[in-house]
Structure 1
Protein backbone atom coordinates (compact mmCIF):
# COMPACT_ATOMS: atom_id res chain seq x y z
CA UNK A 1 0.00 0.00 0.00
CA UNK A 2 1.32 3.45 -0.87
CA UNK A 3 -1.19 6.32 -0.50
CA UNK A 4 -4.20 4.59 1.04
CA UNK A 5 -6.76 7.30 0.24
CA UNK A 6 -5.80 7.23 -3.45
CA UNK A 7 -5.50 3.47 -3.93
CA UNK A 8 -9.25 2.87 -4.56
CA UNK A 9 -9.15 5.23 -7.53
CA UNK A 10 -6.17 3.42 -9.02
CA UNK A 11 -7.78 0.04 -8.32
CA UNK A 12 -10.92 1.05 -10.19
CA UNK A 13 -8.93 1.78 -13.35
CA UNK A 14 -6.57 -1.18 -12.97
CA UNK A 15 -7.81 -3.25 -15.92
CA UNK A 16 -7.95 -0.36 -18.39
CA UNK A 17 -4.56 0.87 -17.16
CA UNK A 18 -2.96 -2.55 -17.59
CA UNK A 19 -4.18 -2.80 -21.18
CA UNK A 20 -2.98 0.69 -22.11
CA UNK A 21 0.39 0.23 -20.40
CA UNK A 22 0.75 -3.02 -22.30
CA UNK A 23 0.11 -1.21 -25.59
CA UNK A 24 2.72 1.43 -24.73
CA UNK A 25 5.26 -1.25 -23.82
CA UNK A 26 4.64 -3.07 -27.09
CA UNK A 27 5.08 0.12 -29.12
CA UNK A 28 8.30 1.03 -27.30
CA UNK A 29 9.66 -2.52 -27.47
CA UNK A 30 9.13 -2.48 -31.24
CA UNK A 31 11.99 0.01 -31.35
CA UNK A 32 14.34 -2.60 -29.91
CA UNK A 33 16.93 -1.32 -27.45
CA UNK A 34 15.85 2.25 -26.81
CA UNK A 35 16.08 5.25 -24.54
CA UNK A 36 13.60 7.88 -23.41
CA UNK A 37 14.05 11.65 -23.31
CA UNK A 38 11.73 14.21 -21.75
CA UNK A 39 11.64 17.87 -22.81
CA UNK A 40 9.77 19.66 -20.05
CA UNK A 41 9.71 22.99 -21.89
CA UNK A 42 8.27 21.45 -25.05
CA UNK A 43 6.03 19.03 -23.14
CA UNK A 44 7.24 15.94 -24.98
CA UNK A 45 8.54 12.51 -24.04
CA UNK A 46 10.21 10.56 -26.82
CA UNK A 47 11.38 6.96 -27.06
CA UNK A 48 14.27 6.55 -29.52
CA UNK A 49 15.89 3.41 -30.93
CA UNK A 50 19.55 3.33 -29.92
CA UNK A 51 20.69 1.79 -33.19
CA UNK A 52 18.71 4.18 -35.41
CA UNK A 53 17.81 7.58 -33.91
CA UNK A 54 15.38 8.22 -36.77
CA UNK A 55 13.08 5.54 -35.32
CA UNK A 56 11.07 7.18 -32.57
CA UNK A 57 7.84 7.00 -30.61
CA UNK A 58 7.04 10.65 -29.90
CA UNK A 59 4.40 11.58 -27.33
CA UNK A 60 2.90 14.71 -25.83
CA UNK A 61 3.59 14.52 -22.10
CA UNK A 62 1.73 16.01 -19.14
CA UNK A 63 3.52 16.06 -15.79
CA UNK A 64 1.25 14.74 -13.03
CA UNK A 65 3.55 14.60 -10.01
CA UNK A 66 7.04 13.88 -8.74
CA UNK A 67 7.79 11.47 -5.88
CA UNK A 68 11.04 12.09 -4.04
CA UNK A 69 12.88 10.18 -1.30
CA UNK A 70 14.72 13.24 0.08
CA UNK A 71 11.69 15.14 1.39
CA UNK A 72 9.73 11.85 1.48
CA UNK A 73 6.84 13.43 -0.34
CA UNK A 74 4.77 13.62 -3.48
CA UNK A 75 4.56 17.02 -5.18
CA UNK A 76 1.65 17.59 -7.56
CA UNK A 77 2.48 19.18 -10.91
CA UNK A 78 0.20 22.16 -10.31
CA UNK A 79 2.56 23.19 -7.49
CA UNK A 80 5.79 22.05 -9.18
CA UNK A 81 8.26 24.64 -10.58
CA UNK A 82 8.23 22.74 -13.90
CA UNK A 83 4.51 22.01 -13.85
CA UNK A 84 1.44 23.77 -15.22
CA UNK A 85 -0.88 25.22 -12.55
CA UNK A 86 -3.80 24.77 -14.96
CA UNK A 87 -2.65 21.48 -16.46
CA UNK A 88 -3.71 17.86 -16.13
CA UNK A 89 -2.96 17.66 -12.41
CA UNK A 90 -5.43 20.47 -11.78
CA UNK A 91 -8.19 18.04 -12.78
CA UNK A 92 -7.11 15.77 -9.95
CA UNK A 93 -7.13 18.67 -7.52
CA UNK A 94 -10.66 19.62 -8.62
CA UNK A 95 -11.84 16.06 -8.00
CA UNK A 96 -10.21 16.14 -4.59
CA UNK A 97 -11.97 19.39 -3.73
CA UNK A 98 -15.31 17.97 -4.83
CA UNK A 99 -14.89 14.73 -2.87
CA UNK A 100 -12.85 16.12 0.03
CA UNK A 101 -9.74 14.03 -0.60
CA UNK A 102 -6.91 15.88 1.11
CA UNK A 103 -4.21 13.91 -0.72
CA UNK A 104 -5.42 15.43 -4.00
CA UNK A 105 -5.77 19.01 -2.77
CA UNK A 106 -2.55 19.45 -0.77
CA UNK A 107 0.32 20.66 -2.95
CA UNK A 108 2.77 18.31 -1.23
CA UNK A 109 1.74 14.98 0.29
CA UNK A 110 4.09 13.32 2.80
CA UNK A 111 4.80 9.62 2.60
CA UNK A 112 2.86 7.55 5.16
CA UNK A 113 4.78 7.28 8.41
CA UNK A 114 5.32 3.54 7.97
CA UNK A 115 6.45 3.78 4.32
CA UNK A 116 9.93 2.53 3.56
CA UNK A 117 10.35 5.26 0.97
CA UNK A 118 12.92 3.16 -0.86
CA UNK A 119 13.27 2.70 -4.61
CA UNK A 120 10.70 -0.10 -4.83
CA UNK A 121 8.17 1.78 -2.72
CA UNK A 122 8.53 4.92 -4.82
CA UNK A 123 8.15 2.90 -8.04
CA UNK A 124 4.93 1.37 -6.71
CA UNK A 125 3.69 4.77 -5.56
CA UNK A 126 4.32 6.12 -9.07
CA UNK A 127 2.14 3.37 -10.53
CA UNK A 128 -0.60 4.24 -8.04
CA UNK A 129 -0.44 7.91 -9.04
CA UNK A 130 -0.46 6.96 -12.71
CA UNK A 131 -3.59 4.88 -12.18
CA UNK A 132 -5.29 7.72 -10.31
CA UNK A 133 -4.45 10.14 -13.12
CA UNK A 134 -5.88 7.78 -15.76
CA UNK A 135 -9.03 7.23 -13.72
CA UNK A 136 -9.74 10.93 -13.18
CA UNK A 137 -8.75 12.28 -16.60
CA UNK A 138 -9.55 9.41 -18.97
CA UNK A 139 -6.11 9.82 -20.55
CA UNK A 140 -3.72 6.89 -20.97
CA UNK A 141 -1.08 5.57 -20.91
CA UNK A 142 1.19 7.02 -18.26
CA UNK A 143 4.94 6.80 -17.83
CA UNK A 144 6.90 6.56 -14.59
CA UNK A 145 10.29 8.12 -15.25
CA UNK A 146 13.35 7.94 -12.97
CA UNK A 147 14.74 11.50 -12.97
CA UNK A 148 17.69 11.18 -10.59
CA UNK A 149 18.51 10.81 -6.90
CA UNK A 150 15.75 8.24 -6.45
CA UNK A 151 13.00 10.61 -7.61
CA UNK A 152 10.36 9.56 -10.10
CA UNK A 153 8.18 11.78 -12.29
CA UNK A 154 4.79 10.55 -13.45
CA UNK A 155 3.60 11.71 -16.87
CA UNK A 156 0.34 11.14 -18.73
CA UNK A 157 1.06 10.63 -22.41
CA UNK A 158 -0.83 11.47 -25.57
CA UNK A 159 0.78 8.66 -27.53
CA UNK A 160 0.15 7.55 -31.13
CA UNK A 161 -1.55 4.34 -30.03
CA UNK A 162 -4.77 3.04 -31.60
CA UNK A 163 -7.88 3.25 -29.42
CA UNK A 164 -8.53 0.23 -27.24
CA UNK A 165 -11.09 -2.04 -28.88
CA UNK A 166 -12.95 -5.07 -27.58
CA UNK A 167 -11.21 -7.23 -30.17
CA UNK A 168 -7.77 -6.04 -29.09
CA UNK A 169 -8.63 -6.47 -25.41
CA UNK A 170 -9.93 -10.03 -25.86
CA UNK A 171 -6.58 -11.09 -27.31
CA UNK A 172 -4.53 -9.40 -24.57
CA UNK A 173 -6.67 -10.09 -21.51
CA UNK A 174 -5.65 -13.69 -20.73
CA UNK A 175 -2.05 -12.55 -20.46
CA UNK A 176 -2.94 -9.30 -18.69
CA UNK A 177 -5.16 -10.98 -16.11
CA UNK A 178 -2.47 -13.50 -15.22
CA UNK A 179 -0.30 -10.66 -13.93
CA UNK A 180 -2.87 -8.15 -12.66
CA UNK A 181 -4.45 -8.28 -9.22
CA UNK A 182 -7.95 -6.79 -9.22
CA UNK A 183 -9.39 -5.77 -5.87
CA UNK A 184 -12.90 -5.57 -7.37
CA UNK A 185 -13.16 -7.26 -10.75
CA UNK A 186 -16.75 -6.20 -11.44
CA UNK A 187 -15.91 -2.54 -10.91
CA UNK A 188 -12.72 -2.88 -12.95
CA UNK A 189 -14.66 -4.32 -15.89
CA UNK A 190 -17.29 -1.58 -15.61
CA UNK A 191 -14.56 1.07 -15.52
CA UNK A 192 -12.73 -0.55 -18.43
CA UNK A 193 -15.85 -0.12 -20.55
CA UNK A 194 -16.34 3.46 -19.35
CA UNK A 195 -12.78 4.56 -20.04
CA UNK A 196 -12.55 2.71 -23.37
CA UNK A 197 -15.87 4.14 -24.57
CA UNK A 198 -17.59 0.76 -24.90
CA UNK A 199 -21.15 -0.09 -23.97
CA UNK A 200 -21.72 -2.40 -21.00
CA UNK A 201 -24.78 -4.46 -20.11
CA UNK A 202 -25.06 -6.62 -17.00
CA UNK A 203 -26.30 -10.09 -17.89
CA UNK A 204 -28.62 -10.40 -14.85
CA UNK A 205 -29.74 -8.66 -11.69
CA UNK A 206 -27.12 -10.47 -9.59
CA UNK A 207 -24.31 -9.03 -11.74
CA UNK A 208 -22.90 -12.47 -12.45
CA UNK A 209 -21.78 -11.34 -15.89
CA UNK A 210 -21.15 -8.24 -17.98
CA UNK A 211 -21.25 -7.88 -21.75
CA UNK A 212 -19.11 -5.16 -23.31
CA UNK A 213 -19.37 -4.15 -26.93
CA UNK A 214 -17.98 -1.83 -29.58
CA UNK A 215 -17.75 -1.87 -33.36
CA UNK A 216 -15.21 -4.72 -33.29
CA UNK A 217 -17.35 -7.20 -31.37
CA UNK A 218 -18.62 -8.23 -27.94
CA UNK A 219 -17.10 -9.92 -24.91
CA UNK A 220 -18.93 -11.36 -21.92
CA UNK A 221 -17.15 -11.48 -18.58
CA UNK A 222 -18.34 -14.18 -16.14
CA UNK A 223 -17.79 -13.72 -12.40
CA UNK A 224 -17.56 -16.45 -9.76
CA UNK A 225 -18.97 -16.44 -6.22
CA UNK A 226 -16.05 -14.29 -5.02
CA UNK A 227 -16.70 -11.77 -7.82
CA UNK A 228 -13.52 -12.77 -9.62
CA UNK A 229 -13.37 -13.06 -13.40
CA UNK A 230 -14.09 -16.73 -14.11
CA UNK A 231 -14.11 -16.57 -17.89
CA UNK A 232 -14.47 -14.39 -20.98
CA UNK A 233 -16.55 -15.32 -24.03
CA UNK A 234 -16.21 -13.27 -27.20
CA UNK A 235 -17.88 -12.75 -30.54
CA UNK A 236 -15.78 -10.61 -32.82
CA UNK A 237 -16.67 -9.03 -36.12
Structure 2
Protein backbone atom coordinates (compact mmCIF):
# COMPACT_ATOMS: atom_id res chain seq x y z
CA UNK A 1 0.00 0.00 0.00
CA UNK A 2 1.08 3.57 -0.56
CA UNK A 3 -0.13 4.92 2.82
CA UNK A 4 -1.40 8.03 1.02
CA UNK A 5 -4.60 8.06 3.08
CA UNK A 6 -2.59 8.18 6.30
CA UNK A 7 -0.49 10.98 4.86
CA UNK A 8 -3.65 12.91 3.95
CA UNK A 9 -4.94 12.59 7.51
CA UNK A 10 -1.56 13.69 8.87
CA UNK A 11 -1.50 16.66 6.47
CA UNK A 12 -4.82 17.87 7.84
CA UNK A 13 -3.46 17.87 11.40
CA UNK A 14 0.00 19.14 10.39
CA UNK A 15 -0.21 22.60 11.93
CA UNK A 16 -1.54 21.41 15.29
CA UNK A 17 0.90 18.48 15.33
CA UNK A 18 3.89 20.72 14.60
CA UNK A 19 2.97 23.10 17.40
CA UNK A 20 2.56 20.24 19.88
CA UNK A 21 5.87 18.68 18.82
CA UNK A 22 7.48 22.08 19.33
CA UNK A 23 6.09 22.15 22.88
CA UNK A 24 7.55 18.70 23.54
CA UNK A 25 10.89 19.79 22.09
CA UNK A 26 10.99 22.84 24.35
CA UNK A 27 10.19 20.69 27.41
CA UNK A 28 12.95 18.18 26.65
CA UNK A 29 15.50 20.85 25.72
CA UNK A 30 14.95 22.36 29.17
CA UNK A 31 16.51 19.15 30.54
CA UNK A 32 19.72 19.80 28.62
CA UNK A 33 21.47 16.71 27.27
CA UNK A 34 19.07 13.86 27.94
CA UNK A 35 18.16 10.26 27.25
CA UNK A 36 14.82 8.48 27.00
CA UNK A 37 13.64 5.19 28.51
CA UNK A 38 10.41 3.32 27.93
CA UNK A 39 8.68 0.41 29.69
CA UNK A 40 5.51 -0.36 27.79
CA UNK A 41 4.46 -3.12 30.18
CA UNK A 42 4.58 -0.68 33.10
CA UNK A 43 3.20 2.19 31.02
CA UNK A 44 6.19 4.45 31.57
CA UNK A 45 8.22 6.75 29.31
CA UNK A 46 10.82 9.09 30.78
CA UNK A 47 13.19 11.73 29.45
CA UNK A 48 16.09 12.11 31.90
CA UNK A 49 18.88 14.69 32.01
CA UNK A 50 22.25 13.01 31.58
CA UNK A 51 23.91 15.51 33.93
CA UNK A 52 21.19 15.77 36.56
CA UNK A 53 19.38 12.46 37.01
CA UNK A 54 16.71 14.09 39.18
CA UNK A 55 15.59 16.25 36.27
CA UNK A 56 13.03 14.25 34.32
CA UNK A 57 9.96 14.50 32.15
CA UNK A 58 7.68 11.50 32.64
CA UNK A 59 4.89 10.51 30.26
CA UNK A 60 2.50 7.65 29.59
CA UNK A 61 3.26 5.99 26.23
CA UNK A 62 0.74 4.50 23.83
CA UNK A 63 2.40 2.32 21.21
CA UNK A 64 0.86 2.92 17.80
CA UNK A 65 2.92 0.79 15.46
CA UNK A 66 6.22 -0.87 14.67
CA UNK A 67 7.69 -0.10 11.23
CA UNK A 68 10.33 -2.61 10.13
CA UNK A 69 12.55 -2.10 7.06
CA UNK A 70 13.66 -5.77 7.20
CA UNK A 71 10.30 -7.44 6.48
CA UNK A 72 9.20 -4.16 4.84
CA UNK A 73 5.97 -3.82 6.75
CA UNK A 74 4.10 -1.84 9.38
CA UNK A 75 2.43 -3.72 12.23
CA UNK A 76 -0.21 -1.93 14.29
CA UNK A 77 0.04 -2.26 18.05
CA UNK A 78 -3.24 -4.19 18.30
CA UNK A 79 -1.74 -6.90 16.06
CA UNK A 80 1.54 -7.25 17.99
CA UNK A 81 2.00 -10.15 20.45
CA UNK A 82 1.95 -7.83 23.47
CA UNK A 83 -1.19 -6.14 22.14
CA UNK A 84 -2.41 -2.59 22.51
CA UNK A 85 -2.89 -2.13 26.24
CA UNK A 86 -4.37 1.36 25.93
CA UNK A 87 -6.89 0.73 23.16
CA UNK A 88 -5.60 3.69 21.16
CA UNK A 89 -5.01 1.70 17.97
CA UNK A 90 -8.43 0.10 18.34
CA UNK A 91 -9.78 3.62 17.80
CA UNK A 92 -7.68 3.90 14.64
CA UNK A 93 -8.92 0.49 13.52
CA UNK A 94 -12.55 1.50 14.11
CA UNK A 95 -12.01 4.75 12.20
CA UNK A 96 -10.52 2.78 9.32
CA UNK A 97 -13.47 0.39 9.28
CA UNK A 98 -15.95 3.28 9.30
CA UNK A 99 -14.24 5.12 6.46
CA UNK A 100 -12.98 2.16 4.41
CA UNK A 101 -9.26 2.77 5.06
CA UNK A 102 -7.46 -0.55 4.59
CA UNK A 103 -4.17 0.81 5.98
CA UNK A 104 -5.88 1.13 9.37
CA UNK A 105 -7.78 -2.15 9.43
CA UNK A 106 -5.09 -4.64 8.39
CA UNK A 107 -2.85 -5.76 11.26
CA UNK A 108 0.27 -5.88 9.09
CA UNK A 109 0.58 -3.57 6.10
CA UNK A 110 3.27 -4.19 3.49
CA UNK A 111 5.41 -1.38 2.11
CA UNK A 112 4.84 -0.39 -1.52
CA UNK A 113 7.38 -1.59 -4.09
CA UNK A 114 8.84 1.86 -4.63
CA UNK A 115 10.20 3.25 -1.38
CA UNK A 116 13.12 5.04 -2.99
CA UNK A 117 16.82 4.53 -2.46
CA UNK A 118 16.88 5.64 1.19
CA UNK A 119 14.67 3.15 3.04
CA UNK A 120 15.65 4.63 6.40
CA UNK A 121 14.37 8.06 5.43
CA UNK A 122 11.22 6.53 3.96
CA UNK A 123 10.53 4.71 7.24
CA UNK A 124 11.12 7.92 9.22
CA UNK A 125 8.68 9.79 6.98
CA UNK A 126 6.09 7.03 7.36
CA UNK A 127 6.48 7.14 11.15
CA UNK A 128 5.61 10.84 11.15
CA UNK A 129 2.62 10.18 8.87
CA UNK A 130 1.37 7.41 11.17
CA UNK A 131 1.72 9.64 14.21
CA UNK A 132 0.08 12.61 12.50
CA UNK A 133 -2.86 10.48 11.39
CA UNK A 134 -3.25 9.22 14.97
CA UNK A 135 -3.25 12.82 16.26
CA UNK A 136 -5.92 13.69 13.71
CA UNK A 137 -8.15 10.73 14.63
CA UNK A 138 -7.71 10.63 18.42
CA UNK A 139 -6.87 14.25 19.26
CA UNK A 140 -4.00 13.01 21.46
CA UNK A 141 -0.51 14.52 21.24
CA UNK A 142 2.45 14.86 21.20
CA UNK A 143 4.15 11.80 19.75
CA UNK A 144 7.59 10.21 19.74
CA UNK A 145 9.30 7.99 17.19
CA UNK A 146 12.46 6.04 17.98
CA UNK A 147 14.52 2.99 16.90
CA UNK A 148 13.51 -0.26 18.61
CA UNK A 149 15.19 -3.58 17.86
CA UNK A 150 15.82 -3.01 14.17
CA UNK A 151 12.42 -1.37 13.65
CA UNK A 152 11.00 2.06 14.37
CA UNK A 153 8.42 2.43 17.12
CA UNK A 154 5.79 5.16 16.96
CA UNK A 155 4.13 6.26 20.20
CA UNK A 156 1.63 8.83 21.35
CA UNK A 157 2.52 10.39 24.70
CA UNK A 158 0.37 11.66 27.52
CA UNK A 159 2.93 14.17 28.75
CA UNK A 160 2.80 16.99 31.34
CA UNK A 161 2.79 19.70 28.69
CA UNK A 162 0.53 22.73 28.89
CA UNK A 163 -2.51 22.70 26.60
CA UNK A 164 -1.86 24.64 23.42
CA UNK A 165 -3.19 28.21 23.62
CA UNK A 166 -3.65 30.86 20.97
CA UNK A 167 -1.10 33.06 22.75
CA UNK A 168 1.53 30.30 22.65
CA UNK A 169 0.72 29.51 19.02
CA UNK A 170 1.01 33.14 17.89
CA UNK A 171 4.51 33.26 19.35
CA UNK A 172 5.64 29.99 17.76
CA UNK A 173 3.88 30.08 14.39
CA UNK A 174 6.26 32.39 12.45
CA UNK A 175 9.11 30.01 13.26
CA UNK A 176 7.05 26.85 12.77
CA UNK A 177 5.68 27.85 9.37
CA UNK A 178 9.10 28.45 7.85
CA UNK A 179 9.87 24.74 8.08
CA UNK A 180 6.40 23.37 7.38
CA UNK A 181 5.00 22.46 3.97
CA UNK A 182 1.21 22.42 4.37
CA UNK A 183 -0.73 20.50 1.72
CA UNK A 184 -3.89 22.51 2.43
CA UNK A 185 -3.14 25.49 4.71
CA UNK A 186 -6.78 26.54 5.08
CA UNK A 187 -7.82 23.04 6.17
CA UNK A 188 -4.85 22.87 8.55
CA UNK A 189 -5.88 26.13 10.21
CA UNK A 190 -9.45 24.85 10.60
CA UNK A 191 -8.14 21.59 12.07
CA UNK A 192 -5.80 23.47 14.40
CA UNK A 193 -8.81 25.16 15.92
CA UNK A 194 -10.74 21.88 16.18
CA UNK A 195 -7.94 19.89 17.78
CA UNK A 196 -6.91 22.68 20.15
CA UNK A 197 -10.51 23.31 21.21
CA UNK A 198 -10.54 26.94 20.09
CA UNK A 199 -13.26 28.98 18.44
CA UNK A 200 -12.96 29.65 14.70
CA UNK A 201 -14.68 32.29 12.62
CA UNK A 202 -14.30 32.74 8.88
CA UNK A 203 -14.03 36.34 7.75
CA UNK A 204 -16.14 36.09 4.59
CA UNK A 205 -17.76 33.69 2.14
CA UNK A 206 -14.46 33.40 0.23
CA UNK A 207 -12.70 32.11 3.37
CA UNK A 208 -9.99 34.72 2.83
CA UNK A 209 -9.41 35.04 6.58
CA UNK A 210 -9.94 32.87 9.62
CA UNK A 211 -9.81 34.01 13.24
CA UNK A 212 -8.98 31.52 15.98
CA UNK A 213 -9.57 32.53 19.58
CA UNK A 214 -9.52 31.29 23.16
CA UNK A 215 -9.22 32.89 26.60
CA UNK A 216 -5.62 33.96 25.89
CA UNK A 217 -6.29 35.95 22.73
CA UNK A 218 -7.03 35.67 19.02
CA UNK A 219 -5.08 35.07 15.83
CA UNK A 220 -6.24 36.07 12.35
CA UNK A 221 -4.90 34.09 9.39
CA UNK A 222 -4.98 35.65 5.92
CA UNK A 223 -5.08 33.50 2.77
CA UNK A 224 -4.46 34.24 -0.91
CA UNK A 225 -6.49 32.87 -3.83
CA UNK A 226 -4.55 29.61 -3.63
CA UNK A 227 -5.40 29.15 0.08
CA UNK A 228 -1.82 29.86 1.09
CA UNK A 229 -1.22 31.66 4.39
CA UNK A 230 -0.03 35.19 3.58
CA UNK A 231 0.02 36.61 7.09
CA UNK A 232 -0.97 36.23 10.73
CA UNK A 233 -1.79 38.94 13.22
CA UNK A 234 -2.73 38.40 16.83
CA UNK A 235 -4.35 40.12 19.75
CA UNK A 236 -3.51 38.78 23.21
CA UNK A 237 -5.90 39.00 26.13
CA UNK A 238 -4.95 41.80 28.51
CA UNK A 239 -2.47 43.32 26.07
Match in the other structure for 1:180? 180
Deviation at 1:94, TM superposition (A): 0.3
TM-score, length basis structure 1: 0.97
140-149 vs 127-136, which deviates more?
A: 140-149
The answer to whether the Cα contact below 8 Å between 1:64 and 1:88 also exists between their aligned partners in 2 is yes
SS of 1:161's equivalent in the other structure is coil
Once the two structures are TM-superposed, the CA of residue 5 in structure 1 deviates from its matched residue by 2.1
Superposition deviation, residue 225 in structure 1: 1.6
Deviation at 1:118, TM superposition (A): 1.5
Question: SS in structure 2 opposite 1:6?
Answer: helix
Aligned residue for 1:76? 76
1:142 aligns with 2:130: no
Q: Distance in 1 between matches of 2:222 and 2:11?
A: 19
Unaligned regions of 5+ residues in structure 2, if any? none
Residue 60 of structure 1: aligned partner: 60
> In 2, Cα distance between the equivalents of 1:83 and 1:23?
29
Give the Cα–Cα distance (whole angstroms) in 1 for the partners of residues 209 and 11 of structure 2. 20
Alignment correspondent of 2:22: 22
Aligned-partner Cα distance in 1 for 2:57–2:131 = 20
Q: Give me the TM-score of the superposition, normalised by structure 2.
A: 0.96
Which residue of structure 2 lines up, in the alignment, with residue 41 of structure 1? Answer: 41
The ranges of structure 1 where at least 4 consecutive aligned residues each deviate by more than 3 angstroms after the TM superposition are: none
Distance 1:102 1:159, change over 3 A: same
Aligned to 1:131: 132
Q: Is the 8 A contact 1:63 1:83 kept in 2?
A: no
Cα deviation, residue 42, structure 1: 0.9
Residue pair 1:2, 1:112 contacting (<8 A) in 2 also: yes
Kept in 2: contact 1:10–1:135 (CA 8 A): yes
- Contact 1:2 1:125 (8 Å CA) reproduced: no
Q: Deviations over 1:51-108 (max 9, x none)?
A: 1111100000100001001110000011112332661011000000000000000000
Task: Work out the number of aligned pairs and report it.
Answer: 236
- 2:62/2:86 contact within 8 Å kept: no
SS at match of 1:183: coil
Rounded to whole Å, the distance in 2 between the matches of 1:99 and 1:113 is 25
Tell me what 2:219 maps to: 219
What displacement does 1:220 show?
0.5
List gaps (5 residues or longer) in structure 1. Answer: none
1:147/1:153 contact within 8 Å kept: yes
What does residue 122 of structure 1 align with?
A: 123
Structure 1 CA distance, aligned partners of 2:19 and 2:85?
30
